[in-house]
Structures are given as C-alpha cells and as structure tokens.
Amino acid sequence: MKRIKKLNTPPRFISYSAVGGYEEKRGPLGELFDLCDESDTFGQKTWEMAEGEMGRCALNLALSKCNLSHESLELLIAGDLQNQCVATSIGLGTFGSPFLGIYGACSTCTEALLILSSMIGSGAVNTGACVTTSHNSAAERQFRSPIEYGGQRSPTAQWTSTAAGSFILSRDENIIAQSKFSSVEISDFMIGRIIDGATADASNMGAAMSFAAAESILEYFEESDMKVRDFDFIVTGDLGKVGSEILKTILDDRLPTASAKHLDCGNLLYDFSRRDVHSGASGCGTSASVLASFFLPKLETGDLRDVLFLSTGALMSPSSVLQGNTIKGIAPVIHLHSNAV
C-alpha cells in the first residue's frame, strides 16, 4: 500500500497569518508575525479564552488578506491543546462555518492541512481554512502546574508557545486569480503512523517525537519519486534541541543527506541567548506560526521551491503519564511546492 498520496488538483494557499504573544514577539521571527499581544491575554479574562481569541484573530487576519468573508469557507478544520478543543470552539464558534475539530497534539497543524488538502483535491470542498493554536499558560495549567507555582523544569523540557497559525486553501480559479498569495500548493501528503517514543518522561517530549519524525522521513523518501536533493529543507515541528539531536543521529546513520537539510520549528521560534526556553518551543501553535511567518512567504516569492513539512505530536495526557505509559509520537507529512516565477 502506497502511503504517499498525490493530489490531482493540488490546493493553493491563498492566505495565511501568524499570531503570537510576548516571547514570540521577542524571538527571531517576531517581526514576521502579523500580530503579537505582549500581554498574552488578547483582551480576555482567562488564558483559555485568550487562546480562543488568538485563533479568532488569526483567521480574521487571513481572511482580510485575501478579501474573503467567512461565508466563503466551506469547511473549517481547527484544533488546540485544551481538553475537547475548547479554545477552538470559543474562538471560532461565531464564524458559523462547517467545522471539524481535530487533536493531534503538536502535529495538529500538518494534520489539519493534510485533511483539508485531501478534501479539496477530491473535489468535496473548494475553499476552506485551517487554524491551530496553543497558549503557554493554558497548557501549563492543563498538563503540568500553573506557572505561578514556580515549579522546576527539566533541561529537556520545552516551552509551549503562545502562538497561532491560520491558512486558507482553495481550488477555486476565481479566488486564486484574485489572491496575491497563490504560488504555493500542497502537491502530496503522507499520513503518519503511531510510533512508540520509548520514554514515559513528559519533560522530554522531543525525544518521544523524534522516532515518529524519523519513520516518516525515511518512509517518504523510500517511496517517493523525489530525492532529498530536490528539497530545500526538511522541516519538523517541535522536536526542540533534544529531539532534533536524536533525529540527526538516526538520519546520519540511515539517510545523511536528509539530516543535512533538517530544520526544526521548535529551534527557530525563540532566541536561546535571550530567553531560557530549555530545549526549545513546543505546542501546536509553534509549527503553525513558523510555517505562516517564515516558510510560506519564502515559498511564495520563490526563494524556496520545495519543503517537506511534518509537524510532530506527542500523544499523551497527564493521566497516561501518571500511569506509566510510554509516550507515542505521530508525524504526518505534507509536500509544499512553489510555482512562483
């Protein structure tokens, strides 16, 4: 069974946006974000509601860039890190669009884009949007302890980003022709497998996710007609320093050319010299915001031509960790191609 699925009618990115908080504004990509709220509250009374508002802002910004109304969206696929995707329902419920809520932990961005591109490529949908969010304080309260407790963090731990990314995809020729963002397409994708991360340490999610990332990268190039040299970068989401080193060790042994092209969103979002984020960024807003602020603009201008993009997710809960279960990883893949001239 072939895992790579080619899209006969590849959907185009017609708009995208990146939203962040205080730490994201101070990072290397901060000036590339569309909006940053340095209070991290986004005008709301709770962190959970702030995450919902962040997603709403991201989608509105993406819609305004391409002069579309929410009525144009035939499908909205979105997710976050909170229980039952409650931030998504709080932030996006008023749009009234047909909705699919998903949860793939930090892999949510790629999972959403994969599902939407599949539905657009099949003709079931013409135009749709994806939104992914995470909020540091909301995630700390749910998965660990409220930050006010001042608990010690392991050096292998990562900093959950307060960030969101929104993407609008379409196959509608009229919408594509009117958009200034229309050079980038998702040409094929590969659904990830659940891979045991061989650790039950919730403070080392990068290590747990690295094995899923390695499996997806190796399987993709084993099956694909394209070679590693055909890609500008192979981008993972949220492995951070520790996970990236493990992935590098695996790829150096199995596919060293891929190791040389690897970048990780968890290592790109923050300036390690200015902020102690330990092993780097995590949270499903990380890869979404880095994709929207950094990689898509470079693909849009033709500075990059082909990027293999795979957000990585740690499939765990506080209860599963307390029960001693090992952390499973997942890494869905999309191939981003630029048609810029």
- Please tell me the predicted confidence (pLDDT) of residue 139: 74
Examine the pLDDT at 149 and tell me if it is beyond 70. no
Residue 170's pLDDT band (cuts 50, 70, 90):
very high
Under 8 Å between Cβ of 238 and 209: yes
- Please tell me the predicted confidence (pLDDT) of residue 74: 97
The domain defined by 4-177 carries CATH number 3.10.20.30: no
Under 8 Å between Cβ of 231 and 308: yes
Residue 317's pLDDT band (cuts 50, 70, 90):
confident
Exposed / middle / buried, residue 193 (Cβ in 10 Å: 0-12, 13-18, 19+): middle
- Please tell me the predicted confidence (pLDDT) of residue 151: 56
User: Which CA distances in Å does 58 have to 47, 164, 287, 323, 329?
Assistant: 17, 7, 14, 37, 27
- Please tell me the predicted confidence (pLDDT) of residue 147: 52
- Please tell me the predicted confidence (pLDDT) of residue 280: 72
Percent of the chain at pLDDT exceeding 90: 75
- Please tell me the predicted confidence (pLDDT) of residue 274: 67
Examine the pLDDT at 291 and tell me if it is beyond 70. yes
The domain defined by 183-338 carries CATH number 3.40.80.10: no
Tell me which of 48-62, 165-179, 268-282, 284-298 is least confident: 268-282
Distance between CA 242 and CA 205 in Å, rounded? 9
Query: Considering the entire predicted model, what is its pTM?
Result: 0.94
Comparing 188 with 140, the larger pLDDT belongs to 188
Examine the pLDDT at 73 and tell me if it is beyond 70. yes
Examine the pLDDT at 180 and tell me if it is beyond 90. no
Examine the pLDDT at 152 and tell me if it is beyond 60. no
Exposed / middle / buried, residue 201 (Cβ in 10 Å: 0-12, 13-18, 19+): middle
Q: According to CATH, where is 3.40.47.40 located in the chain?
A: 4-177, 183-338
- Please tell me the predicted confidence (pLDDT) of residue 198: 82
Under 8 Å between Cβ of 222 and 251: no
Examine the pLDDT at 138 and tell me if it is beyond 90. no
- pLDDT tens per residue across span 240-266: 989 999 999 999 999 999 999 999 999
Residue 78's pLDDT band (cuts 50, 70, 90):
very high
Tell me which of 139-153, 190-204, 291-305 is least confident: 139-153
Using DSSP, state whether 15 is helix, strand or coil: strand
The mean pLDDT of the chain is 91
Type of residue numbered 68: L
In sequence order, what are the residues at sequence separation of 6 or more whose Cβ sits closer than 8 angstroms to the Cβ of residue 283?
81, 106, 134, 135, 136, 139, 160, 161, 162, 163, 238
- Please tell me the predicted confidence (pLDDT) of residue 298: 98
User: Which CA distances in Å does 17 have to 33, 57, 75?
Assistant: 7, 9, 18
- pLDDT tens per residue across span 36-60: 999 999 999 999 999 999 999 999 9
Residue 84's pLDDT band (cuts 50, 70, 90):
confident
